[in-house]
Chain A
């Protein structure tokens, strides 16, 4: 009942399962204020969507998911266009190279392996550091319940600005909007890294980009968020287009169903976040991320059920 046929993935899937996964990720993103692309791709793979279709359609969904936020921030003047353009130059370079890398990996048959391995490393780092930081915040809050609040304390302790290093690098530029002077090299490089990850994993990369902008480049938080959303929309749009052209793996229907689910989920998530305490929900998110990481790691190390699988470019192989 309520099955829907996905013409690009070439499979039939329960509509509520896809809406549910979108909803779950939307709920978590509403609750934690993160994009959730890095949760969506692994979850889609778990319900049987071929990894390349999952990653490419996730990029398409991110274009939709981030567009309204980006538009809102742009109207409020929270986007540093100069910084955004440099990051985007990196993002578009990285995304375009990344899609070609995906094509190569699919030809030699190790796209799924590489993708899962990068996910394990990334989810391990993100989940691990989030878990440790939340634990530290909870301890701090317990020691000094009446102090300025755990978030600010954590931010102050973990904000080593790398400005002095970047001030010695070439291509120095002044960014009026963010009120900083720094080298264009690092923003370009971080943009490129996120672009490659966007192609390989179908993520927006906000979980790397925002901390890098705030703690490493030294941008104000609100400008960092606005600029990040702006670059996410265009980087993901580029990745979607490249994936459609090179790998034929974008399922617009799947992306729209996920968008529907995640929009509804986010509404509930935002409301739920008002009722819950910050550190506790962050610990919860880090545990979810770590569970996903372990699941993917087990996929890579446990003896597979079948040593044979279809390769890309042949029947049944996406």
Chain B
């Protein structure tokens, strides 16, 4: 045996070990085939929210539970915090909060505790706690106070939940048919703005991740809505002039139609 040759089996063994370590989270996870009733949502004149049904095949994957996460890219938001000033409530502090997902929804086939361990939940970013851990707070106005952070997060959760942008629904929200197919639907509320939304499906067996899939749903403004929105934001001077001229013409027109009415 030449010098160094005895290293070979050790190296192979080490390489296998490294491979196992680095691929551990993915070990044994199969690609799941999923589909949806729509690949995108168009915000038009009559848009008031939309619903998309999702399906996934569990064929060949021995899974007993499904968790689906819907998220949109994180963003920076500014949050006002109210306080008492004399008899009034007014905004006394302002924080800039970074890494806030605009939308965040979790669906599950049964309660999350039964499906996955807290460690897995954290690794996959499942649960409001994982959002909280990623946030960074930066004071813009007023005196910074560590205790504000919990109040801000609670307030943010309530704002988002009320707009149906954040939700965790693990009360049999996902239906599994004969262990072969899972299905459920996501509601995109009317406040769901244009952007790309990521839908990730995770399949579990005995609290272990055994399969995953992801899909992108594009939400965009179309037609008149897109035109008006872009005009107002990209050409505000022209938009303003047009708004005034349209109003003048419309006002004179209705004045002509209803002579003597109005003012």
Chain A residues within CB distance 8 Å of chain B: 3-5, 7-8, 10-12, 26, 29-30, 35, 60-61, 63-72, 108-110, 113, 117, 229, 233, 237, 240-245, 248, 250, 252-253, 255-256, 259-260, 262-263, 266-267, 270, 300-304, 306-317
* Residue pair B77, A35 in contact (C-beta under 8 Å): no
**Chain B, 223-243, contact with A by CB distance < 8 Å: what is the 0/1 string?**
011101100110011011111
Query: Given A5-B225, A68-B251, A68-B263, do A307 and B243 touch, yes or no (CB 8 Å)?
Result: no
* Residue pair B80, A245 in contact (C-beta under 8 Å): no
* Residue pair B151, A68 in contact (C-beta under 8 Å): no
Q: Which of A7, A29, A244, A256 contacts B225 (CB 8 A)?
A: A7
Interface status of B19 (Cβ within 8 A of chain A): no
* Residue pair A308, B156 in contact (C-beta under 8 Å): yes
* Residue pair B251, A108 in contact (C-beta under 8 Å): no
* Residue pair A64, B247 in contact (C-beta under 8 Å): yes
Of B40-48, B104-112, B207-215, which stretch is located at the interface? B40-48
* Residue pair A69, B229 in contact (C-beta under 8 Å): no
Interface status of B139 (Cβ within 8 A of chain A): no
**Using Cβ atoms and an 8 Å threshold, which residues of chain A touch B125?**
none
**Using Cβ atoms and an 8 Å threshold, which residues of chain B touch A12?**
47-49, 190
Interface status of B8 (Cβ within 8 A of chain A): no
Q: Which of B76, B237, B255 contacts A68 (CB 8 A)?
A: B255
Q: Which of B44, B76, B261 contacts A30 (CB 8 A)?
A: B261
Q: Which residue of B lies closest to A312 (CB)?
A: B78
**Using Cβ atoms and an 8 Å threshold, which residues of chain B touch A301?**
87-89
Cα of A289 to Cα of B76 in the assembled complex, Å: 40
Interface status of B28 (Cβ within 8 A of chain A): no
**Using Cβ atoms and an 8 Å threshold, which residues of chain A touch B76?**
314
On chain B, which size bracket covers the interface?
A: 35 or more
Q: Which residue of A lies closest to B230 (CB)?
A: A7
Q: Which residue of B lies closest to A253 (CB)?
A: B228
Interface contact tally, CB-CB below 8 A: 216
* Residue pair B243, A250 in contact (C-beta under 8 Å): yes
- Which of A12, A253, A303 lies at the interface centre, i.e. has the most chain B CB atoms within 10 A of its CB? A12
* Residue pair B159, A316 in contact (C-beta under 8 Å): yes
**Using Cβ atoms and an 8 Å threshold, which residues of chain B touch A65?**
251, 262-263
Cα of A282 to Cα of B260 in the assembled complex, Å: 21
Interface status of B131 (Cβ within 8 A of chain A): no
* Residue pair B94, A5 in contact (C-beta under 8 Å): no
**Using Cβ atoms and an 8 Å threshold, which residues of chain A touch B45?**
4-5
Interface status of B52 (Cβ within 8 A of chain A): no
**Using Cβ atoms and an 8 Å threshold, which residues of chain B touch A312?**
78
Cα of A300 to Cα of B89 in the assembled complex, Å: 6
- Which of B83, B94, B151, B248 lies at the interface centre, i.e. has the most chain A CB atoms within 10 A of its CB? B248
* Residue pair B247, A61 in contact (C-beta under 8 Å): yes
- Which of A8, A26, A315 lies at the interface centre, i.e. has the most chain B CB atoms within 10 A of its CB? A315
* Residue pair B90, A113 in contact (C-beta under 8 Å): yes
Interface status of B155 (Cβ within 8 A of chain A): yes
Distance (whole angstroms) from the CB of A294 to the closest CB of chain B: 14
List the 10 shortest-distance A-B pairs measured between CB atoms, nearest first.
A68-B255, A308-B155, A244-B240, A69-B263, A64-B251, A67-B251, A12-B190, A311-B78, A3-B48, A12-B48
Distance (whole angstroms) from the CB of A302 to the closest CB of chain B: 8
**Using Cβ atoms and an 8 Å threshold, which residues of chain A touch B88?**
113, 117, 300-301
Interface status of B69 (Cβ within 8 A of chain A): no
* Residue pair A5, B256 in contact (C-beta under 8 Å): no
**Using Cβ atoms and an 8 Å threshold, which residues of chain A touch B256?**
68
Q: Which residue of A lies closest to B257 (CB)?
A: A263
Q: Which of A68, A253, A255, A306 contacts B262 (CB 8 A)?
A: A68
* Residue pair B232, A310 in contact (C-beta under 8 Å): no
**Using Cβ atoms and an 8 Å threshold, which residues of chain B touch A117?**
88
Interface status of B218 (Cβ within 8 A of chain A): no
Interface status of B252 (Cβ within 8 A of chain A): yes
**Using Cβ atoms and an 8 Å threshold, which residues of chain B touch A259?**
247, 250-251, 254
